[in-house]
Structure 1
Amino acid sequence: MALLQMFRTAQTNGATRSLCCTAALQSKEWRLSKGFSANRTAEGILTDGPDYTFLDGRPTPLLKKQQLRMIKQQDYATKIVELTSELEFAKNRYQDKIRMEQEERDAVLRNRLKPKGKQLKK
């Protein structure tokens, strides 16, 4: 794989300077190719894990990011349950509507005029 080099030139007070970010790009590409996140500080054992542990085995309090993530996941779960119940309601209502229309058609067919006289005895 060829080395990836990007140079940015900035003009400041008549002087030019070159900035190279090859190492950062290679690190990002390596992390992505290994299945890690692009930003190493976004997630991981060092950022997600507790800062300390109790020797007697008590659980440590949740970190702020963990609390926010838990609240977000609970919001997602309640939204999913709410939308699922709405979907079930809509399906049942549609089935009831179709059933009622069919019953109306059947009622009209049952109530139509009946033959009289000799045709009735047949």
Structure 2
Amino acid sequence: MTISLINRINMQRNLLCRAFSCSSIANTKEWRISKGLPVNRNAEGVLLDGPDYTFLDGRPTPLLNKQKVRILKQREYASKIVELCSELDFAKERHQKMLKMAAEERQRVIDNRLKPKGRALK
């Protein structure tokens, strides 16, 4: 009797703990992050990322701070990709060499086995 009463109290407590409601606004941040969008939609965009002015004689405008950061980040990504690709190539070559060495060792063991003598050779 007491066990069923304790179970019933625990179930009611779980229901009370889980009975709150959340609005769709609370999930907006996670949704935007999961879609690869910025958390604040006003933080960046075409109008905010572009230059504020242009030179009439055609000179390029200096890079904005976010553009510099983005370019540096892309360079870091590119260098990391090149580094990881070279490591991958090295690992593939090493694996092939190790397989070849294992096959050569196996062949050497087979070649060095004791050979029959006497009439079995004829």
Shared fold, TM over 0.5 = yes
Percent sequence identity over matched residues?
63
Residues in 1 aligned to 2:67 and 2:104: alpha-carbon distance in whole angstroms: 55
SS at match of 2:120: helix
Residues in 1 aligned to 2:73 and 2:38: alpha-carbon distance in whole angstroms: 20
**1:76 corresponding residue in structure 2:** 77
* More helix, by proportion: 2
- Unpaired stretches in structure 2, ≥5 consecutive residues: 1-24
Residues in 1 aligned to 2:54 and 2:94: alpha-carbon distance in whole angstroms: 54
Aligned-residue CA RMSD in angstroms?
2.2
Q: Which has the higher contact order (CA 8 A, sep 6+)?
A: 1
**2:118 corresponding residue in structure 1:** 117
Residues in 1 aligned to 2:88 and 2:107: alpha-carbon distance in whole angstroms: 29
- Residue type at the aligned position of 1:52: Y
Per-residue deviation, 1:71: 0.4
- Work out the number of aligned pairs and report it: 91
**2:60 corresponding residue in structure 1:** 59
Per-residue deviation, 1:40: 2.7
Aligned: 1:41 with 2:42:
yes
TM-score of the pair, normalised by structure 2: 0.65
Aligned: 1:103 with 2:104:
yes
TM-score of the pair, normalised by structure 1: 0.65
Residues in 2 aligned to 1:75 and 1:37: alpha-carbon distance in whole angstroms: 21
